[in-house]
């Protein structure tokens, strides 16, 4: 997997190459200053990848609110959602089960063609490829 990071003042754009597929990830990093701009990009999204630091208990409440807001957004209703539960290599990390319960997203798990929580470790390089493969597969199924 090849990752190239491009940074701007408003958003980080990261082309990620997984196999022969290129993903362009737009990272708004939850900066409250840019949240009003999110809606202008939503209609052009093919999927949502929401990254959570599984060790940061202080940021989890904010992540819960933001994810809840995105899941209720009409423009994203038919889009696949991939939640990356990052830092799963850290012993202090909440497990995927604990995160799912804390974020109150159990009801979305019965939609496996539209919603997935993927354990990841950026440090160990684990889980991201599987998550992006899932996104690619879901998008390909909906194109056909």
- Is 86 flagged in the annotation as binding? yes
Bridging pattern class, strands 2-3 and 21-27? unpaired
- Asked whether 134 and 128 are in contact (CB, 8 A), the reply is no
| Residue 87 is labelled as binding a ligand | yes
Quick check: 76 and 70 in contact, CB under 8 A? yes
Question: Is 88 annotated as belonging to a binding site?
Answer: yes
Residue 90, SS3?
A: coil
Q: Is 8 annotated as a binding residue?
A: yes
Task: Give the integer Cα–Cα distance in Å for 27 and 29.
Answer: 5
Binding site residue list: 8, 30, 86-89
Binding site residue list for GTP: 30, 86-89
Binding site residue list for Mg(2+): 8
């Amino acid at each position: 997997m090849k990752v190239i990071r491009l940074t701007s003042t408003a958003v980080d754009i990261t082309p990620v190459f997984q196999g022969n597929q290129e993903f362009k990830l737009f990272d708004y990093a939850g900066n409250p200053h840019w949240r009003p701009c999110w809606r202008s990009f939503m209609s052009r999204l093919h999927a949502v990848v929401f990254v959570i630091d599984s060790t940061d208990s202080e940021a989890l409440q904010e992540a819960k609110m933001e994810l809840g807001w995105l899941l209720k957004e009409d423009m994203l209703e038919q889009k696949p959602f991939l939640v990356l539960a990052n830092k799963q290599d850290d012993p202090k990390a909440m497990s995927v089960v604990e995160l799912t319960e804390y974020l109150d997203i159990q009801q979305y798990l019965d939609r496996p063609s539209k919603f997935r929580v993927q354990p990841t470790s950026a440090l160990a390089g684990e889980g991201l490829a599987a998550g992006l493969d899932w996104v690619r597969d879901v998008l390909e199924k909906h194109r056909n």
